[in-house]
């Protein structure tokens, strides 16, 4: 089983790295880009000893406690069997 966790900054939080990318992309001549935001993406492989609901529960906990900073970031978990 595989889980994917997406972590990104909450919408009100300034993202200087995203702004830097946006600026570079404009300098390179790409037009029509109004905003760029950077986040993190994790692929977690789980062994066969856990079922779907246990997997979701543990991955949600890992996402909340280890992979994200809940003050400024939000996360999304997807489980693939």
In the list 12, 14, 16, 34, the residue contacting a copy of itself (rule: CB under 8 A) is: 34
For residue 67, the SS3 value is helix
Of the candidates 12, 54, 56, 58, the residue with the CA atom closest to the CA atom of residue 37: 12
Determine if 68 is a binding residue for a copy of itself (CB under 8 A): no
Determine if 79 is a binding residue for a copy of itself (CB under 8 A): no
Determine if 31 is a binding residue for a copy of itself (CB under 8 A): yes
| Integer angstrom CA distances of residue 8 from 1, 42, 63 | 23, 12, 11
For residue 3, the SS3 value is strand
Closest CB to a copy of itself among residues 35, 71: 35
Residues that bind a copy of itself (CB under 8 A): 6-8, 18, 21, 24-25, 28, 30-47, 49-50, 54-55, 58, 61-62, 65-67
């Amino acid at each position: 089983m595989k889980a994917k966790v997406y972590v990104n900054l909450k919408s009100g939080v300034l993202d200087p790295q995203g702004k830097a990318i946006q600026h570079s992309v404009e300098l390179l001549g790409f037009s029509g880009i109004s905003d760029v935001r950077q986040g993190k993406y994790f692929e977690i492989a789980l062994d066969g000893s856990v079922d779907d609901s246990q997997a979701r529960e543990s991955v949600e906990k890992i996402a909340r406690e280890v992979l994200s900073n809940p003050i400024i970031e939000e996360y999304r978990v997807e489980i693939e069997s």
